[in-house]
Amino acid sequence: MRLFRDCRDDVFDSLMQAAFLQRFPRGVELIRESEPADMLHIIVEGLVQMFASHGGRETTIGFVRPLGTFILAAVLRDQVYLQSARTLERSRVLMIPAERVRSAMAADSGFMSAIVGELAMGYRNTVKELKNQKLRSGPERLANWILRAQRFQGKSDRVAIEMEKRVLAARLGMTPENLSRAFNVLKAYGITVQGAEIRVDSRDRLAAYAKINPLIDDFTT
Amino acid sequence: MRLFRDCRDDVFDSLMQAAFLQRFPRGVELIRESEPADMLHIIVEGLVQMFASHGGRETTIGFVRPLGTFILAAVLRDQVYLQSARTLERSRVLMIPAERVRSAMAADSGFMSAIVGELAMGYRNTVKELKNQKLRSGPERLANWILRAQRFQGKSDRVAIEMEKRVLAARLGMTPENLSRAFNVLKAYGITVQGAEIRVDSRDRLAAYAKINPLIDDFTT
DNA sequence: CGTAGCATTGATGTGGGTCAACGTATGTGG
DNA sequence: CCACATACGTTGACCCACATCAATGCTACG
């Protein structure tokens, strides 16, 4: 994977020697905010939700899918986690002790450079997610999600919802009830839902409503 | 400053040779989102607001005060800015060409290490700001701001608002109207406002309402 | 002084959360 | 294989936080 591409062999071995790969069923809390960051997690398979709580409320901060990492920033600063993580699907996670990551970084500037890139990308994705949340309405976020899923899955006018709707709702920062209502709003723009399948009558009409913005939606920049 | 402490002398010289220090009056847009990241900005004096726009709306993402930096992540990835920045006070800003920062990083692992720390801290502060916004109500955010300002300014029961109220409102993620209302809400917890001065009758009552949370409020962790 | 911008207050609108009821699907045990 | 249980999904009613709009008051500076 990208993170280890420029890693020296001995450093890589040292990391892997201390690492372990573990399977988790769905709905498991992998880390909890306020705990010290003792492991770097790399998600190999599945889907993980990052969230935070305060005063009985909870908010979704983002999602990690293969081969993303968390929580790199806490590991690097040797601090507590600011976020919690739970699996949304059966997942496989590679865990590397934080201490090893820090010493590998000190020993191998190629690895450190990769870490910097990964960290910067995570940072930028968080900023994009924040903009998505604060500058768009619920139905707009859904419209953009559909367009992205369609691009990702192929060019058909059918889009499969590959997770439970309640999970999609959380991912889009809304309640399940409001997700239903958001789908109803999008009916006017040629969207129909049948179970786990979405039909897109007119990509153009949907795109006009969604107001695609590369500074929010592009996951490579 | 911390960012250059472990920097090799020749690398530091190379950075400073290409850098320039500039003064800006209040209300100047220093960078604009979607532009390529050509300069790393280090704020030496003053106050800068980071914000983003989309579809006619605008949202505050955070604030930078001395000796913070922006936009490190964009500079490191050689990408466009995702945020815009404007001065909220007269400010002095040190600007270093992005290319120099990247080559200095490649040449000097001490500097790279400092960059990693700065980037991770910025990342974590953004996450805290996001939690502050999404998990607290407006009056709660104000209460926490008052408590922090009080700690910062001294132990008196008077707290000075050192910026225009409209600026404070933006910083707290609300409109000026709602800031007024938030102050009214806090009357019940012993807060009175007189122009630019806040009086805190009982720190304890305010703190109980504010629900201080180190995972949101501490700026060092 | 007078005026322009800032601050406050009130009225109103809206997005989205919450609660409750009902419908629908899925899987399990008799 | 059916019946029921359990969870998920949808819909409607309602509420709350906050934005918006409009009017007025305040203050500061030329």
Mean pLDDT by 10 residues, chain A (221 residues): 91 96 91 96 92 88 90 95 91 96 95 95 93 94 95 88 91 94 96 94 95 88 64
With CA atoms as reference, the chain B residue closest to A37 would be: B221
CA of B161 and C1' of D28: distance in angstroms?
17
Burial of A117 (0-12, 13-18, 19+ CB in 10 A): middle
Are B72 and A120 a contacting pair at CB < 8 A? yes
Q: Is B210 helix (H, G, I), strand (E, B) or coil?
A: helix
pTM tops 0.75, yes or no: yes
Phi (first) and psi of residue A72, to 5 degrees: -60, -45
Query: What does the block give as tokens for A56?
Result: 């009985």
Whether residue B19 lies within 8 A of chain A, CB to CB, comes out as no
Sign of the CA dihedral with A60 first, then A64, A70, and A72 last: negative
Are B124 and A55 a contacting pair at CB < 8 A? no
Whether residue A85 lies within 8 A of chain B, CB to CB, comes out as no
Dist CA B220 CA A203 (whole Å): 47
CA dist B127 → A43, A108, A170, B46 (Å) = 20, 28, 18, 23
Measuring from the CA of residue A169 to each C1' atom, give the nucleotide at the shortest distance. D9
Are B124 and A74 a contacting pair at CB < 8 A? yes
Read off the pLDDT of residues A4-14 as tens digits, 9 standing for 90 and up: 999 999 999 99
Which bases of chain D come closer than 7 Å to a protein CB? 8-13, 17-22, 27-28
Per the CB < 8 A criterion, the answer to whether B94 and B42 are in contact is: yes
CA of B1 and C1' of D9: distance in angstroms?
56
Q: Count the neighbouring beta carbons within 10 Å of the beta carbon of residue A71.
A: 28
CA dist A185 → A151, A210, B146 (Å) = 22, 12, 41
Question: Which pLDDT score, from 0 to 100, does residue A146 have?
Answer: 96
Question: Which pLDDT score, from 0 to 100, does residue B154 have?
Answer: 85
Residue with tokens 């892997």: A16
CA of A174 and C1' of C29: distance in angstroms?
37
Beta strands in chain A (DSSP E): 20-24, 29-31, 39-45, 48-54, 57-64, 69-70, 84-87, 91-97, 158-160, 191-194, 197-200
Read off the pLDDT of residues B36-56 as tens digits, 9 standing for 90 and up: 999 999 999 998 989 999 988
- Classify residue A110 by its DSSP letter: H
CA dist B23 → A13, B19, B35, B214 (Å) = 50, 14, 21, 35
Share of chain B above pLDDT 70, in %: 99
Query: Average of pLDDT values for B163-192?
Result: 94
Per the CB < 8 A criterion, the answer to whether B37 and B30 are in contact is: no
Q: pLDDT averaged over chain B?
A: 93
Whether residue B212 lies within 8 A of chain A, CB to CB, comes out as no
Whether residue A208 lies within 8 A of chain B, CB to CB, comes out as no
Are B128 and A73 a contacting pair at CB < 8 A? no
Whether residue A113 lies within 8 A of chain B, CB to CB, comes out as yes
Are B83 and A55 a contacting pair at CB < 8 A? no
With CA atoms as reference, the chain B residue closest to A220 would be: B79
